[in-house]
């Protein structure tokens, strides 16, 4: 059991207070995004969203399947709640809507928007190579295979999956008018109206097979790093008039407030990608020819497995160098053979000197995770990395190697959306052979024992039979003789 310190309890209480009492936050001013982390510590942590989706972060992953959504086509008889929560325009979604193409079922909960202002039609949260779109729609889903509702899922590492749609000003979009025509009914904070259901699929871009994928967070407090992000490559368009109706109709204030604050520019600025990569489901097309391909799931699985069991010499022999991206600045200067030798030496050879202790300083995430007492059980993105580095530390691996792993291998391996899947298969992959071998072994042992026992018994019976027969015969003979 972890030792619970006073600061930890204080931080936990502060966080719980912030959550339960909903500490005020805004996009600007004294409660603006730079101050969010005072009340919501995760906002100052890692795995934060949005990010600028830059070309150098991209890795092509051929295993990314097209997004498939189910029951998005709602009947007009199904009433949806359109609301203004003071931060955004939000539409509640029925639980029959879900994403079916991920490794778990993700059930829809709501969709909402972020947008710019009438004077600056640039309000998307994700940007692509620095380009900010006019607006962005987020369709929020939770992992309903694992959690009973969104409240239970929201702070879990595998809790949420959000579909992000970039919106640019251009052609009129009839799908957006399905709810924009009711926007005057929700001008003020906490106002809600019922709107007839419509085909939510029509709000998404036509192509659902081209997207960016990365691990990130809620883009509003409490900023839990619990989101598997899918940002579609192709934007949808809305007309200038439609954009202006979103950008000018709403207030973040209550109807009774004396000073009304218009609701616009409700986007968070891009966060640091840190050690993350962005997977892409497409390779062809503009500017993506040089995109690195992500390590295959099988190789990744094997590497994780080897790193976890600490079989470092084998790992070097089997070619850790193969995993290093071809564009890797540190090791690509030499020949691959050199890499292999270098890694073999560094991995296999125990070092006399211990590693620089500063290397093992806990990351910011770890500090927050530790503070909140959520650690491995709930917010465990870093736990695998920690376990591997623990293994390396025990084997006195060299600082340079550790840094190489940190810089070049982990960005790919540390994709939390992959880890569960991979570890699941690692566990299942190991478990099944272990079970089969154990069962076969047990059957074999039982068979051998039975066989030996039978042999022994039949030999004993034979001997007994012989001796009994002899005796009997003898007795008979004797008897007959007697």
> CA of 251: how far to CAs of 183, 259, 306, 351, in Å?
11, 10, 55, 63
- CA-CA distance, 210 to 64, in Å (whole number)? 9
The least CB distance from residue 369 to Zn ion, in Å, is 23
- 48 vs 219, beta carbon nearer Zn ion: 219
Contact 191, 83 (CB under 8 A): yes
The least CB distance from residue 374 to Zn ion, in Å, is 22
The least CB distance from residue 232 to Zn ion, in Å, is 14
Q: Give the Cβ contact number of residue 116 at 10 Å.
A: 23
- In the complex, which residues of this chain contact Zn ion (CB under 5 A)? 138, 219
Contact 25, 39 (CB under 8 A): yes
Residue linked to tokens 């906490």: 190
Tokens of 13: 């209480």
SS3 323: helix
Strand 192-196 with 79-84, pairing: antiparallel
The least CB distance from residue 95 to Zn ion, in Å, is 20
- 138 vs 276, beta carbon nearer Zn ion: 138
- 50 vs 411, beta carbon nearer Zn ion: 50
> CA of 455: how far to CAs of 183, 220, 442, in Å?
88, 75, 19
The least CB distance from residue 99 to Zn ion, in Å, is 16
- Which position's Cβ is nearest Zn ion? 138
The least CB distance from residue 105 to Zn ion, in Å, is 21
Convert 415-463 into a string of H (helix), E (strand) and C (coil).
CHHHHHHHHHHHHHHHHHHHHHHHHHHHHHHHHHHHHHHHHHHHHHHHH
- Per the annotation, the verdict on 87 as an active-site residue is yes
What distance, in Å, lies between the first and last C-alpha atoms of the chain?
Answer: 85
Catalytic pick from 21, 34, 87, 103? 87
Q: How far is CA 257 from the centre of its chain?
A: 41
- CA-CA distance, 48 to 339, in Å (whole number)? 34
CA angle at 287 for the pair 117 and 65, rounded to the nearest 5°: 85
- 219 vs 365, beta carbon nearer Zn ion: 219
- 222 vs 411, beta carbon nearer Zn ion: 222
- 98 vs 138, beta carbon nearer Zn ion: 138
Q: Give the Cβ contact number of residue 363 at 10 Å.
A: 15
- 49 vs 295, beta carbon nearer Zn ion: 49
The least CB distance from residue 205 to Zn ion, in Å, is 17
- CA-CA distance, 63 to 444, in Å (whole number)? 40
Task: Provide the residue count of the chain.
Answer: 482
Q: Give the Cβ contact number of residue 211 at 10 Å.
A: 22
Give the catalytic positions in this structure: 87
């Amino acid at each position: 059991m972890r030792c619970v310190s006073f600061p930890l309890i204080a931080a936990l209480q502060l966080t719980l207070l912030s959550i339960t009492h909903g500490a005020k936050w805004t996009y600007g001013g004294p409660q603006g995004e730079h101050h969010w982390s005072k009340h919501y510590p995760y906002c100052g942590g890692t795995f934060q969203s949005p990010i600028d989706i830059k070309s150098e972060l991209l890795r092509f992953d051929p295993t990314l399947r097209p997004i498939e959504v189910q029951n998005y086509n709602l009947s007009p008889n199904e009433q949806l709640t359109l609301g203004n929560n003071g931060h955004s325009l939000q539409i509640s979604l029925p639980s029959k809507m879900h994403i079916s193409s991920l490794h778990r079922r993700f059930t829809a909960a709501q969709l909402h928007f972020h947008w710019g202002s009438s004077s600056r039609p640039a309000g998307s949260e994700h940007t692509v190579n620095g380009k900010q779109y006019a607006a962005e729609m987020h369709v929020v889903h939770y992992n309903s295979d694992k959690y009973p509702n969104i409240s239970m899922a929201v702070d879990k590492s595998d809790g949420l999956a959000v579909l992000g749609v970039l919106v640019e000003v251009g052609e009129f979009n009839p799908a957006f008018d399905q709810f924009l025509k009711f926007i005057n009914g929700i001008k003020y904070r906490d106002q809600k109206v019922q709107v007839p259901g419509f085909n939510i699929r029509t709000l998404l871009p036509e192509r659902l097979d081209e997207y960016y994928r990365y691990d990130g967070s809620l883009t509003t407090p409490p900023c839990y790093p619990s989101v598997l992000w899918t940002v579609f490559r192709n934007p949808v368009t809305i007309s200038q008039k439609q954009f202006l109706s979103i950008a000018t109709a709403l207030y973040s204030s209550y109807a009774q407030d004396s000073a009304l604050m218009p609701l616009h520019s409700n986007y968070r600025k891009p966060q640091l990608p840190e050690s993350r990569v962005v997977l892409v489901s497409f390779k062809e097309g503009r500017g993506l020819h040089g995109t690195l391909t992500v390590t295959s799931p099988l190789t990744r699985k094997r590497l994780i497995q080897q790193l976890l069991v600490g079989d470092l010499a084998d790992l070097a022999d089997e070619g850790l160098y193969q995993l290093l991206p071809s564009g890797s600045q540190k090791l690509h200067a030499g020949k691959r053979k050199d890499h292999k030798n270098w890694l073999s030496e560094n991995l296999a050879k125990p070092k006399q000197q211990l590693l620089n202790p500063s290397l093992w300083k806990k990351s910011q995430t770890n500090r927050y995770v530790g503070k909140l007492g959520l650690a491995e059980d709930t917010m465990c993105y870093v736990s695998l990395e920690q376990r591997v580095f623990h293994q390396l530390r025990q084997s006195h691996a060299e600082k340079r190697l550790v840094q190489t792993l940190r810089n070049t291998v982990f960005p790919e391996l540390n994709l939390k959306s992959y880890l569960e899947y991979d570890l699941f298969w690692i566990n299942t992959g190991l478990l099944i052979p272990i079970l089969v071998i154990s069962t076969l072994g047990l059957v074999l042992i039982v068979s051998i024992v039975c066989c030996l026992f039978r042999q022994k018994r039949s030999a004993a019976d034979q001997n007994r039979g012989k001796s009994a027969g002899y005796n009997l015969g003898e007795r008979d003979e004797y008897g007959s003789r007697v």
